[in-house]
Structure 1
Amino acid sequence: MKLTLVRHTSLQIAEGVCYGQSDIDVSVHFANELSTLQQKLLHEQIDAVYASPLQRCSKLAHALGFDSILHDERLKELHFGDWEMQPWTEIPRDVFDVWAQNYAELAPPNGETFAALQQRGVDFLNEAHSRHAGQHLLVVTHGGMIRALIAHVLNMPLKGLFRFHVDYASLTRLDFSGAVPKIEFVNR
């Protein structure tokens, strides 16, 4: 099985705001970013399409023109709990610093840990692998999920997650067809 992960396009939200699972709409640049993605996917043979149900992913999956899209809650971004829709600068620094030192195991107040997000992603992968062995899936999701899946494939600790920058409207390909999973490319 191969997975081509697509990060959603840019969003209609001010910079510096924590948004996680908040259902933010796409930006005014959507049409241009969509066109670029369509060119990147032009010669790809896709067998199934999955998307996070948040509108920024669902809109993109539908706009890419695929007939059937399977929405999966497990593909959502990290739930930042009480920090959702707060400017990062207004989150108490002492609380944020404690979380930032161990975001894999600590959750923002009323949110979830990155370990929980990664586990959602791994659960999705395991189910997809059993349902779509030998197929190529397109998965429209979020930067946090893409980072968590890369960390899973590389068998690396989540502590290094933010060393990967995942661009809006980019492609990342994971290949699970061999004995050892591989990353074919990131940010294409």
Structure 2
Amino acid sequence: MEIYLIRHTTPDVARGICYGQADIDVTDSFHTEASLIKAYLPASIQQVHCSPLQRCRKLAELLFPQALIQYHDALKEINCGDWELKKWDDIDKAEIQPWMEDFVNVCIPNGENYVQLHERCSLLFDQLIQNAPAAIVTHGGVIRSILSHITSTPLKESFNKFSLHYGCVVKITMENSQYAYNIVHNIIPPEVETHKPK
């Protein structure tokens, strides 16, 4: 049983912008990043599941040109609701503070909380593993959530435990009826990602 979790390449968005389900394109480094990713994937994968957002869709289509790619809304990044494409530092402090204190349970206005993302993508993952080997092309929040799911890691600890950069590849296997994961590709970018106010 092998599942490959693949995070999209660098998105074309300015630093300090809040984004989740906004359909952002990728940067000019896309083909270079994708070629590095491809080296870590077996050529035999035919089952491919993907977020419908273009930063994932473009990568899946390039990596698996012969596969029938299935798109799932459950693999989208967290819904940032009213904060989508706003600068983190421009979001009203009184509005964002409850979420900063408990991003797992507090919903983004007109969006989601981390529990809701976790529930939808974990449920789908449990279905998709029935058809392994497979690849899942998705987002950082979704991959962290899946890894939390298979390792029983509390969601509030997932960002510290799972350091996942753009274009990372995580291989999940089953050993003695237990999941195991290995981060096989994970290049640290020159600039740190920003997903909260300064």
Alignment counterpart, residue 181 of structure 1, candidates 154, 176, 179 = 179
Change (3 A) 1:53 1:177: farther
Q: How far is the alpha carbon of 1:2 from its aligned partner?
A: 2.1
Q: Which has the larger displacement, 85-94 or 23-32? A: 85-94
Residues 31-70 of structure 1 aligned to structure 2 (within 5 Å): 31-41=31-41, 43-67=42-66, 68-70=68-70
- 1:186 deviates by 5.8
1:150 CA drift (Å): 1.1
In structure 2, do the counterparts of structure 1 residues 136 and 177 end up closer, same or farther at CA, with 3 Å as the change threshold? farther
Q: Which residue of 1 aligns with 2:16?
A: 16
Indicate the residue corresponding to 1:158 in structure 2: 155
Would the aligned equivalents of 1:167 and 1:187 in 2 still touch at CA under 8 Å? no
* Aligned-residue offset at 1:61: 0.4
What CA distance in whole angstroms lies between the structure 2 residues aligned with 1:82 and 1:92?
Answer: 11
Q: Secondary structure at the match of 1:181?
A: strand
TM-score (norm. length: structure 1): 0.91
How many residue pairs get aligned? The number is 184
- Name the aligned partner's letter for residue 166 of structure 2: Y
Task: Report percent identity of matched pairs.
Answer: 34
CA distance in 1, matches of 2:19, 2:46: 31
The 1:186–1:86 alpha-carbon spacing in structure 2 relative to 1, beyond 3 Å, is: farther
User: So what's the TM-score if we normalise by structure 2?
Assistant: 0.87
**8 Å contact 1:79–1:111 — kept in the other structure?**
yes
Q: Which 5+ residue runs of structure 2 have no aligned equivalent?
A: 187-198
CA contact (8 A) 1:49 1:66 kept: no
Task: Note the residue ranges of structure 1 that are not aligned, 5 or more in a row.
Answer: none
Match in the other structure for 1:85: 85
